[in-house]
Amino acid sequence: MKNKRFNTYLSLLLVIHIVLVQLAQQFPSFVEKYYSNGIYPIISKFLRILLGWIPFSFGDVLIAFLLVVFIRFVYRLIKTKFQNFVSKLLQLTAVISLLYCCFYWFWGFNYFRESLASNLNIQQEKYTTEQLTAVTKQLVKKLNATHTFITQNDTTKVVNPYTQQQMYLKALDGYKNLSITYPQLTYSYKSVKSSLMSLLQTYNSTSGYLNPLTGEAQVNDMIPKTGYPTTVCHEMAHQIGWAAENEANFVGYLAALNNKDSYFKYAAYRMAFGYLVSELRKHDKEIHREVILSVNKGVLKDFKASSEFWNQYQNPIEPLIKKGYNSYLKANKQSKGIQSYNYVVDLIISYENQTP
């Protein structure tokens, strides 16, 4: 009887939290002040201190455990021929309510904070094709120069010599340097780990994710290592409160760019170029071809190898998972869904145009 009453209270709490989430979307300044710069930093640091020392992904284990519990729940429900269905449904709703509550209070409310551009005082404006072209060509020069510095010629593909664990540690240097200019992007108490579900993530075409219940940044350790530094920095950006994918992309770009290590800088320029040139193709195919011809052959080999890696894991389930993730992003104030990642172009162009 007590359990039923408790489950009822938790189920009612789900309704309250859904309303609260809808309200939070309307008051970004309130969320920014009291959650993103108030409650969240305390919660996130606590979780990273609590679980960061564990050498494996505790979050992946937790997900596996919850999945097993859910399968067992469904199995027993079918086995008993749906006896006490209402009571069981109430129990399931109570668990969903608890997870929903933890998701938003532990991290999810960051979706509704003020924009990163205003936070960093970047004047974000709609760019022209000319601006897109200019910044893309500018970054190609930096990309080529960094590539040549590493390989000593323009035709050899970059081979990242670091292990995943070494890159997790090196990423901290970039954030340390970045925090000198932007103190609000300070990162402390590392909790970055290789995902135990990397193979599954690869089939899902996923490079990494933040587990909001544990505060751990989970990185797919199977992905090509040349782009690994920016993936790590991207997930770390989520940890310090930047939930929107385009904003996490931009913070990851800045963190890798501010790293003294050449492989991190290469990854930063590589990522930025990938998004910019893709957008340029939509604006002007002739200029796009011209820019591609100006890129070092070794860089193009790198992109080709990356494409071949992902192509070998394509499967019929992947589009369905992407569709579900697309809906998830839209439900959390990212109206463009998966395309939100691409909107980092706006931030890169605005930043590059304002940086001497």
Beta strand 192-194 with 208-211 is unpaired
pLDDT mean over 300-326: 86
> Is 60 exceeded by the pLDDT of residue 135?
yes
pLDDT mean over 242-250: 94
Say which DSSP state 354 is in: H
> Is 70 exceeded by the pLDDT of residue 244?
yes
Q: Identify whether the C-beta of residue 212 lies closer than 8 Å to the C-beta of residue 99.
A: no
> Is 80 exceeded by the pLDDT of residue 318?
no
pLDDT mean over 255-261: 98
Instruction: Kindly report the pTM of this predicted structure.
Output: 0.93
Q: What are phi and psi of 192, to 5 degrees?
A: -120, 130
pLDDT mean over 84-112: 91
Q: How confident is the model at residue 7 (pLDDT cuts 50, 70, 90)?
A: confident
| 169 vs 163: CA distance, rounded Å | 10
Q: How confident is the model at residue 353 (pLDDT cuts 50, 70, 90)?
A: confident
From 229-238, 298-307, 332-341, 343-352, the region with the lowest mean pLDDT? 332-341
Q: Identify whether the C-beta of residue 260 lies closer than 8 Å to the C-beta of residue 217.
A: no
> Is 60 exceeded by the pLDDT of residue 26?
yes
Q: Identify whether the C-beta of residue 35 lies closer than 8 Å to the C-beta of residue 121.
A: no
Beta bridge partners of 219: 194, 208
More confident residue, 322 or 182: 182
Q: Of 342, 335, 347, whose CA–CA distance to 278 is shortest?
A: 342
| 230 vs 224: CA distance, rounded Å | 11
> Is 70 exceeded by the pLDDT of residue 329?
no
Q: Identify whether the C-beta of residue 225 lies closer than 8 Å to the C-beta of residue 270.
A: no
DSSP 64-102: HHHHHHHHHHHHHHHHTTTTTHHHHHHHHHHHHHHHHHH
Q: Identify whether the C-beta of residue 215 lies closer than 8 Å to the C-beta of residue 191.
A: yes
> Is 90 exceeded by the pLDDT of residue 294?
yes
Q: What b/e readout covers 4-43, taking b as 16+ CB neighbours within 10 angstroms?
A: eeebeebbebbeebeeebeebeeebeebbeebbeeebeee
